[in-house]
Amino acid sequence: MARVCRDAHRFWRESALPHLEARAIEGGRQVCYGWHSHPSFAIGLVTGGCSEFRIGGDRHMISAGTTVLMNPEEAHACNPLDGRPWSYRMLYADAAWLAAVQGEPVFRPYAPPLSRNPALGRRLAALFDRLLDGTVATTAKEDAAIAFFAGLREALGAVEGDKAAGDAHAALTRAADFISAHCTQPLRLADIAAEAGLSPSYLVRAFKARYGLTPHAYQINRRVQFGQRELRRGRPIVEVALDAGFADQAHFQRAFKRHVAATPGQYTTARG
């Protein structure tokens, strides 16, 4: 069932396609993100206006026709320029599902982080139109998604030079896994560092260098992701806020808006 939200927000999900989720923003002036990441792969198409896209240590000015790509857990932010309107569509794909489409045992990251290839933009726009079309069968939507991702690496012209999937530092991976497993609980930096076998000061520097977020920011990001999953199940916002580890609903609302650029209510209401 697709969901449509006010304030130019539209979210699309179908229960038969749990590995895919899409959103669309039309003419957004206040759709602003803080630094955040996703457990899924994200690919977006700017359809109007201009914005600043930050990923890693790089800043890019992007406009209509630009395709942006964010690998799982890759910190990024994208915001309009001086409050001017901009529009975009974003598609999120589960990493395990996408690995199967790639024919790989684990997800293989994509590079570069953006493309201005008009042919790729047209293909992505066509995929969005198909996914959002209520008259198209679910099987046809999945076939279209598989076909798009099967040709994505070639369309990017980046078969070589992608980030190695297995180059993660084992200690930082342990720290990230520990945070993810206990994200809704109070965590001390000393506990995370002990789990990783690193000093707290080194952990903060190295963790941010790898993930683009401090351990605390990574935990908040994980709590918001937890909140998204629970909201999709139809649970009340106030219950989700407390179960996610936030002090109250207001704290959850602020963090959610900063990470998702939509309120929890916008994310869950107005089924269509």
- Beta bridge partner(s), residue 55: 58, 76
Q: Which of 125 and 31 is assigned the larger pLDDT? A: 125
- Alpha carbon distances (Å) from 20 to 16, 17, 131, 243, 249: 10, 6, 10, 25, 28
Quick one: pLDDT band at residue 253, thresholds 50, 70, 90?
A: very high
Average pLDDT, the chain: 87
* Residue 271, pLDDT above cutoff 90: no
| pLDDT at residue 166, rounded to an integer | 37
Half-sphere exposure of 150 (CA within 13 A, CB side): 9
The continuous run of DSSP H or E covering 64 comes out as: none
pLDDT for residue 110 is more than 60: yes
> What single-letter DSSP state applies at residue 218?
H
Among 59-73, 161-175, 215-229, name the one with the lowest average pLDDT.
161-175
Reply yes or no on whether the pLDDT at 161 is more than 70.
no
d(CA 179, CA 251): 20
pLDDT in the model for residue 29: 61
> Taking 50 as the threshold, does the pLDDT of residue 6 lie above it?
no
DSSP 157-185: T-SSSPPPTT---HHHHHHHHHHHHTTTS
- Domains annotated for the chain, with CATH where assigned, are 3-156 (2.60.120.10), 170-268 (1.10.10.60)
What pLDDT, in 10s, does the model give residues 189-233? 889 988 988 878 788 888 888 888 989 999 999 999 999 999 999
| Residue 258, token pair as written in the block | 């900063």
